[in-house]
Every structure is written in C-alpha cells, then in structure tokens.
Chain A
C-alpha cells in the first residue's frame, strides 16, 4: 500500500486500505513525541503553510508541532474570511502563497468545498483541516487511531455520535471512515440538528440519548455552538444540556462499563459533557489530542514524501 494522492481533502473518497495505511503510519510515528529530542529530519527543507481562515488554536498548533517535529519549515498564515467585496479573495491569497512554493498547504475555512477549490487551483499538496460542515479528515483519522489503540481493533464496533450532526464536519468524516472500516454508527440528537437524508450514509438515527448510548463501544459527543439557538434550531442551552448532555448518571443507567467517551474539543463543560465525564475514567479526549499530532505527522510525511506531490510541486 502506497499513498498516491496529491491531497487529503476528505475521508469519503478514500478506500479502507488507504485509511488503514495512514493510521498505521501514525501509530509508528507516535513514539517521536515520547523522545527527549522530538525531531526527525524527514521533511527537512520542506515548507508547510498553515492557511487558517477560521481561528483555531488547537488544530493549527497540532499541525505546527507535527511539521516541526518532522523538521519542516512551518508558516502560519491567518487570513480573514473572504466575504464578497471585502479584502483579498481566497483564490488570490492562495495564488500568492503558491508563488512562494510551499510543499504542502494545510487549509481550514468556513466554506464547505474550500479545500477542493484550493486543490484544483494549487499545484502543491493540500490537507483539509476543516471546510465548513463538509469534512475534517485528520480529526477522523486521529479518532480512529484512538479507538483502535484502546479497543485493539475497529471492525464490528458500534459508535454513537451525539449532538449537532447537521453542522459537523467531524461527524461526516467519522461516519465515512467508520463505515468503510466495518463499524456501526448511530447518530443522535434533536431532529433539528440531524441533517436530511443522513440515513443514506449508512447510519442509524436516534432521537433519545439514553437509547443511543446503550451498549455502544464508543460515545462521541459533539460541541454545541451558540449560533444554533439564534438559528431557531433549539430553544435554549439549558434544555439542550438537560436532554442531551452526558452525565455520569446517564452513563450509569445503560452504557457499557468499558465505553470510551470522545470529543473533538473544545468541550463545553456542563453542556454536552459534565465535568466529571469530561475528566473521568471513560474519557479518552487527551489521547485524541496526542494521536492528533501523530496523525498529522503521518499525513504531512505521506503527502510531502510522495512522488505524486513531489511531481506536482516541481511542475
């Protein structure tokens, strides 16, 4: 299995073997973070540009650390959102950056399809760090790596993804990855936060938290954003956390004793997760973060080191 793609834009087009290859590579690279000298010379002389239109300290820092541990030169470019008429258009910014000949551009943007747009326009490899509500492939990869590390395998496991599925790129990427690797997925949330036709993606749907978390191996809680209330999707945070917040009591009444609690972060303690659950024994949230750096190292290595990306950048 060799990585042959110029970009990592989404999980949906990947085959199971490709997903497994990335996770395996990440697993092998995890030990770099445990060393005294956290450095390998692999991407020495390569330039990685973090093009972040949405503010995001955690993901950007994760990519930055990953690039630096691989000895790459990492440049952070925080651009303001490209609304029509204001400032430089996204394509103009991208073309300017390309003129500086980066090897990989990592992009996060609030518009779905933004990473695809860049991949069509730029010659270098593109990593999608989150585009609108579409996909966040490295998040799903780090989640899958974490689950495999804790459970020893992936196939046959049952995962419940709970919360604002409609607006979640994390949910979409994970759904695609889990389905391809033979896992069962249930999405759960109030009907206004479950997108139209989601069953077509091969998932079950539940509108009651207690049903959704019963007997599953993994519970993945999603962040609820404030904007959902002004958008008239839920009446109040109070009601949401009462019916959809995960507490120890709710876990005690039906979840498996070896269940994993996951969250892509940042956690709204008291809303989707009570502090005891977020910081408790079932939570693997910090493992997710650690694995995130390993996954991003693997992705940068595969993209910057692949002949496809090399050939494209040199052209």
Chain B
C-alpha cells in the first residue's frame, strides 16, 4: 500500500494478524517477568503507531496482572537531528506524560527500530521530563542498520532488510488491518 506519495510495492508479508497478536502477548509477559511485576512501570509510546502498540501492551498486562500500567505519548519532533534537512517539516504532535517520570521504569514502545536516531531523540525527550529509574525499549520489528549504539530490550521479530526497503506496520486502529509487510521501491522491481 503506497504511503506518503512514494511508490512502494509490497514484497512480502512478514507477520499476519495472528502472529502480530502472539508477538505482543509474548512481549507483555517478558516485560512483567523482567521487571518482577508491574510496580513502578509505565509505557511511553512514540507517535503514531508506537502509542497504539503501547496501549495494546498495557491492555494485555491488565489482563495478566489485573493492574493498569499508565501509558504516555511522546512526540520527538522537537528533538530530531534532521530538522531543516527535510523538504516537508514534520508536524509536532502532542506529548502527554500523565505520571511522574522520576523513579519510574519506563518502557519506550515503537513499531520499527531502524537507525536508532528516533530512539536517541526519545531518550533526550524523556530525560527532559525528569530522571527515570530505568528506560527499556520494546519494538515490534527490529530491521537492523543501526547508526547509533541503541539496542532493544524486547523485540517482536528480527527482520533482516536491505536499506532501500521499507517495513510497514499496519494496525487496525490506523490502517484497518493488523499485519507487517516489507515494501520495496517500484524501480527496483522493474524487469
């Protein structure tokens, strides 16, 4: 499905709805296990789909533990290192952290981990809200090609990709369906 006006074609589907659900459930259990419970835990999702995934994780944990883990939203536009380099300036969305950052174990949630620059910006943004006890990272897809020393704590699926490809996470709440696909630019697939 082409997005943002570029022409990308779907090359392959890597997670279907069921597999996506299982991955999220597994991550939820891993988080609870690693933290020894839900005390002092909070999610912060990165706009846009990271927020949705964070909410889904919180739902699952509520199902497991009966506890409501708070979910905050984070917009990292103001912390990016590439402002002014892009022709289209990104839109600043809302940042809402409805809990005290100080002393909390925060699990950052994003859909795809790629170069690591987004997470670097998110770490700076979170630090400006206070001093957390710990920050962990949960991503649905890790597609490699890191440009900074960032590593995830929880991964739904590791996915080797080439740089030219794109990984698209489609979620019910935004795209009407749940799946993850790899897309490639149209010219590469020309015979």
So, do A and B actually touch in the complex, CB under 8 Å?
yes
Contact A306 B84 (CB under 8 A): yes
Which residue of A3, A28, A40, A305 is within 8 Å of B94 (Cβ)? A28
Contact B92 A36 (CB under 8 A): no
Give the top 5 A-B pairs by smallest Cβ distance, nearest first: A40-B78, A42-B78, A28-B92, A310-B84, A305-B83
Compute how far the CA of A310 lies from the CA of B89 in the bound complex, rounded to whole angstroms.
12
Contact B83 A37 (CB under 8 A): no
Q: Please report which residues of chain B, range 126-155, place their CB below 8 angstroms from some CB of chain A when the two chains form the complex.
A: 128-130
Contact B124 A41 (CB under 8 A): yes
Contact B89 A3 (CB under 8 A): yes
Closest to B75 in A: A28
B-facing mask of A22-43, CB < 8 A → 1, else 0? 0011011101100111011110
List 14 extra interface pairs beyond A24-B91, A28-B93, A39-B128, CB under 8 A: A2-B89, A3-B89, A27-B94, A28-B95, A31-B96, A35-B128, A37-B128, A37-B130, A40-B125, A41-B124, A42-B78, A42-B83, A301-B92, A310-B84
Contacts of A41 in B (CB 8 A): 78-79, 124
Contact B78 A31 (CB under 8 A): no
Given contacts A36-B130, A41-B78, contact A307 B87 (CB under 8 A): yes
Contact A305 B84 (CB under 8 A): yes
Which residue of B78, B87, B124, B128 is within 8 Å of A301 (Cβ)? B78
Compute how far the CA of A131 lies from the CA of B86 in the bound complex, rounded to whole angstroms.
32
22 A–B contacts from the bound complex (CB under 8 Å): A2-B89, A3-B89, A27-B94, A28-B92, A28-B95, A29-B78, A29-B92, A31-B94, A31-B95, A31-B96, A32-B78, A36-B129, A40-B79, A40-B128, A41-B78, A41-B79, A41-B124, A42-B77, A42-B79, A305-B84, A306-B84, A307-B84
Q: Is B88 an interface residue (CB 8 A)?
A: yes
The count of chain A contact residues (Cβ–Cβ below 8 Å) is 27
Contact A305 B89 (CB under 8 A): yes
Contact A306 B79 (CB under 8 A): no
Best-buried of B84, B125, B129 by chain A (most CB within 10 Å) = B84
Which residue of B89, B125, B130 is within 8 Å of A307 (Cβ)? B89
Q: Is A302 an interface residue (CB 8 A)?
A: yes
Contacts of B93 in A (CB 8 A): 28
Contact A306 B89 (CB under 8 A): yes
Compute how far the CA of A141 lies from the CA of B189 in the bound complex, rounded to whole angstroms.
48
Contacts of B130 in A (CB 8 A): 36-37
Closest to A302 in B: B89
A-facing mask of B64-100, CB < 8 A → 1, else 0? 0000000000010111000110111101111110000
Q: Please report which residues of chain A, range 17-76, place their CB below 8 angstroms from some CB of chain B when the two chains form the complex.
A: 21, 24-25, 27-29, 31-32, 35-37, 39-42, 70
